Amino acid sequence: MLAPNPYFRPTMFFSGVKTFAALAATAHTVFAVPLVATRTAGCSRESLLAAADAYIAAQTAGKPDALSSRLAPNWEYEENNVRIAVDKGVLSKAIQIDHIRTIADTIACATFTEVVAANNPGAPYVIGTQIRHDPASLNITLIDSVATTTNSWLFNATRTLEYVLKEKPLWTPIPEAKRDSRDHIKAAGDAYMDMCTFRL
């Protein structure tokens, strides 16, 4: 097993949405496939991943308006735990992305996307983004990002990219009979985050 990645975890913590971030931060040791649901799924995996792909396209171009057809009327944008106008955030900056990984949670109607842009001209970035959806319409209600760059706490995009590429072979499907339940993984994620403190 690979050693824990000290450069990856600090970018993955969200106040108020701790479980999803913790699952993403420890995903290579916890699960590599969708969570085993103990309740009926609220959103399709395909729809969630399509929206995440649209988010990546918007981030690559620096054009959040590209998401307009997918947004709920009163959707919100949060960056580094502050609600701001999207045109003031990192989503409005064109970024050359080196690595993407998305986890879909069909019960919570949400995705978590890990973005590493170590070679982006101008400034490197490591971004962790949750996208929350309305279960009925599938429209996006919240885009919640933690965006780190030069001078951020423990920031090193080059090392982060190195670690995630080494971890990539570990992301193979877990046999269904060996998968933990969603509730079990959620409890582990909550316990992990409860013992952590975080400062950007």
* Cα gap 33→15, rounded to integer Å: 24
For the chain, the helix, strand and coil percentages under 3-state DSSP, each to the nearest 5: 40, 25, 40
Does 35 fall in a domain?
A: no
What is the CB neighbour count within 10 angstroms for residue 149?
17
Q: What is the CATH number of the domain that holds 56?
A: 3.10.450.50
Does 142 fall in a domain?
A: yes
Are 167 and 5 in contact by the 8 Å Cβ rule? The answer is: yes
Instruction: Give residue 197's pLDDT.
Output: 55
Query: Which letter does DSSP use for residue 36 in this model?
Result: B
Q: 87 is in which domain, residue-wise?
A: 40-172
Instruction: Give residue 21's pLDDT.
Output: 42
* Cα gap 192→189, rounded to integer Å: 5
Along the 200 residues of the chain, how does pLDDT read in single tens digits? 333 333 333 333 333 344 444 444 433 333 334 444 444 557 999 999 999 999 999 999 999 999 999 999 999 999 999 999 999 999 999 999 999 999 999 999 999 999 999 999 999 999 999 999 999 999 999 999 999 999 998 899 999 999 999 988 888 888 989 999 989 988 998 888 888 755 43
Structurally, how many domains does the chain consist of?
1
Query: Which letter does DSSP use for residue 172 in this model?
Result: -
Does 44 fall in a domain?
A: yes
Does 145 fall in a domain?
A: yes
Are 90 and 145 in contact by the 8 Å Cβ rule? The answer is: yes
Does 46 fall in a domain?
A: yes
Is this prediction's pTM over 0.85?
no
